[in-house]
Amino acid sequence: MNKEQRQTSKQDARKTLIEILGGKTPYLLSILKDQTPYVRATVQWKDKDVLELPEELSEETLTKIKLLEPRALIYFVSEDGKAYEKTGILEEGKWIEGRIIYCPNKNCVTAQPKEPTRPKFKVVKKDPLILQCYYCGRYIDHSAIVAQIALL
Amino acid sequence: MDIDSRFKGRDLVSILDFRRQEIERLFEVADEMEKFAKSGKEVLKDRIISTLFFEPSTRTRLSFETAMIRLGGHVIGFADPSMSRTVTGETLADTIRMVDSYSNVIVLRHKIEGSARLAAEIAEAPVINAGDGSQHHPTQTLTDLYTLRREFGRIDGLKIAILGDLRQTRSASSLAYGVSLFRGVKLYLVSPEPLRMRQEITDHLKSTGVEYQELNHVEEILPEVDALYVTRLQKERFADSQEYERLRGSYFVTKKMLERARRGMIVMHHLPRIDDIPLEVDETPFARYFQQAAFGLPVRMALLSLIVQ
């Protein structure tokens, strides 16, 4: 995305722009399924899509997008028409908590339906993405994460 | 804060919950406790330990219970999950809440990974992990490290081979984590290819500067190592019984093989042994696994006396 495209008008205030590899767009639309009627996808380059949404996204949705594609770029467009990149969503050492994704280890305590656990994962590596479950310590690689999100 | 105070009320879910300095202090206390292993020292008079063993155990459970009795305390709990209400569907969390109200310390063994961590979150009493699935077994590691220290006077700089099912044996992964707290240890991780140590553990070794090498056969490094730690192929950890049968007998240690070992090398094992160490090795000067198991008592006495102050 170039500077002119980032410098949007005030009419586009409070929007979210997502730049993502084209192959991942169908999964992204699945994450955004409640907003898809308002999504306008524009093919900018041969391998990337840019999606525009008329609102801010929740922290949980932003996290899901970055888990799907860590290299996705997410911009928030403010009232003054300027686009600011949303950073710090997925940083090495950061914890991801809540029922965003689940641990695929069937022997993990978080996989036992009646136990009062809240899934929690540490970002071990960003690229390629590796998460580590707080409870069982197992690694979860990016392909397993994408497979979960694809089933949403 | 003096170092002994740091232990009070602490949970022990992973060996990495302790720092090196704390482990060394625990070993000093274990040295003292060894004198009282048969006679007792009533530092925990009338305190209660709950031993909740959802998986079988001989050494770990009996040594914890003996430790508590020797320290003047009492034991409640179960060695068989069929004796608990979890068979009727009670959750582990509810069991822990209930037991917490009766105990000064809880010792938990469970096949579910992360169970001890959940128990530690719920209970006010300290929780000691006696083994959770294939993940951690910190008191086994304390016993193993104590054995090495007693044998060699140090742990820094030792060369240790861990042989067997490194993927699923919690004693193996725990030991790898444990040696990362010391300096200059070299690990030889010897296993059939399908049983290699999990990446999260080898990544931890890399990030903490532990030199390690992965191998298929133990014979080639026997002349190099100070200690050979043998693990059992655990049938209960295999989801696929055919895989277990294929791998069964794929590694073992014999008296003949040990002719290549250097003088002073020791053979350790977390026990029980099955096909991995034959009886003939017991007679060799290398065998230390029974002494290793015996050290579990003063080590657990030390741990309990420090945590349940």
Residue-wise pLDDT for B23-78, tens only, equals 999 999 999 999 998 888 899 999 999 999 999 888 999 999 999 999 999 999 99
Domain boundary among A53, A85, A117: A85
C-alpha to C-alpha distance for A8 and A83, rounded to whole angstroms: 7
| Interface contact B200-A114, CB threshold 8 A | no
CA distances from B42 to B64, B294, B301, B304 (A): 15, 20, 11, 12
The CATH superfamily assigned to B138-293 is Aspartate/ornithine carbamoyltransferase (3.40.50.1370)
User: Would you place residue A8 in the very low, low, confident or very high pLDDT band (cuts 50, 70, 90)?
Assistant: very low
Residues of B in contact with A112 (CB under 8 A): 91-92, 112
Strand A15-21 relative to strand A73-77, pairing: antiparallel
- Does the pLDDT at position A9 exceed 50? no
- When mean pLDDT is compared over A7-16, A60-69, B291-300, the highest value belongs to B291-300
Sheet holding A129-133, edge to edge: A95-97, A120-126, A129-133, A139-141
Pick from B113, B199, B203: which is nearest to A136 by CB?
B113
Higher pLDDT, B43 or A56: B43
Angle at A142 between CA A140 and CA A147, to 5 degrees: 95
Residue B13 corresponds to which tokens in the numbers above? 């879910």
- When mean pLDDT is compared over A35-39, A74-78, B54-58, B131-135, the highest value belongs to B131-135
What's the confidence (pLDDT) of residue B168? 93
User: Do A104 and A80 share a structural domain?
Assistant: no
Residue A114: give its domain's CATH number.
2.30.30.20
B17 neighbors B138 (Cβ within 8 angstroms): yes
Rounded to two decimals, the ipTM of the complex is 0.91
Residue percentage of chain A with pLDDT more than 90: 42
User: Do A115 and A70 share a structural domain?
Assistant: no
Instruction: Compute the average pLDDT of residues B285-289.
Output: 97
Instruction: Compute the average pLDDT of residues B300-305.
Output: 98
Instruction: Compute the average pLDDT of residues B177-188.
Output: 98
Split into its structural domains, chain A has a count of 2
User: Do A107 and A52 share a structural domain?
Assistant: no
Domain membership flag for residue A145 = yes
| Interface contact A137-B199, CB threshold 8 A | no
User: Would you place residue B211 in the very low, low, confident or very high pLDDT band (cuts 50, 70, 90)?
Assistant: very high
Q: Domain B3-137+296-307 adopts which CATH fold?
A: Rossmann fold (3.40.50)
Q: Helix or strand or coil: residue B98? A: helix
**Averaged confidence pLDDT in chain B:** 94
Residues of B in contact with A114 (CB under 8 A): 89, 91
A120 neighbors A96 (Cβ within 8 angstroms): yes
Least confident of A13-17, B124-128, B162-166: A13-17
List the domain range (segments joined by +) for residue A20. 3-85
Residue A59: give its domain's CATH number.
3.30.70.120
- Does the pLDDT at position A2 exceed 60? no
Pick from A108, A114, A138: which is nearest to B200 by CB?
A138
Peptide bond into A70 cis (omega under 30): no
B229 neighbors B269 (Cβ within 8 angstroms): yes
Domain boundary among A50, A85, A120: A85
On whether any CB of chain A is under 8 Å from the CB of B192, the answer is: no
User: Do A14 and A79 share a structural domain?
Assistant: yes
What are residue A21's phi and psi, to 5 degrees?
A: -60, 135
What is the length of chain B? 309
Domain boundary among A67, A85, A103: A85
- Does the pLDDT at position A152 exceed 70? no
| H or E stretch at B108 | strand B105-110
B106 neighbors B100 (Cβ within 8 angstroms): yes
User: Would you place residue A10 in the very low, low, confident or very high pLDDT band (cuts 50, 70, 90)?
Assistant: very low
Domain membership flag for residue A90 = no
User: Do A35 and A99 share a structural domain?
Assistant: no
C-alpha to C-alpha distance for A89 and B271, rounded to whole angstroms: 46
User: Do A80 and A56 share a structural domain?
Assistant: yes
B247 neighbors B209 (Cβ within 8 angstroms): no
User: Do A69 and A11 share a structural domain?
Assistant: yes
Domain membership flag for residue A72 = yes
Residue A87 corresponds to which tokens in the numbers above? 């950073």
Domain boundaries along the sequence of chain B: 3-137+296-307, 138-293
* Sign for the pseudo-dihedral over CA of B296, B180, B105, A122: negative
User: Would you place residue A122 in the very low, low, confident or very high pLDDT band (cuts 50, 70, 90)?
Assistant: very high
Distance from CA of B102 to the nearest CA of A (A): 21
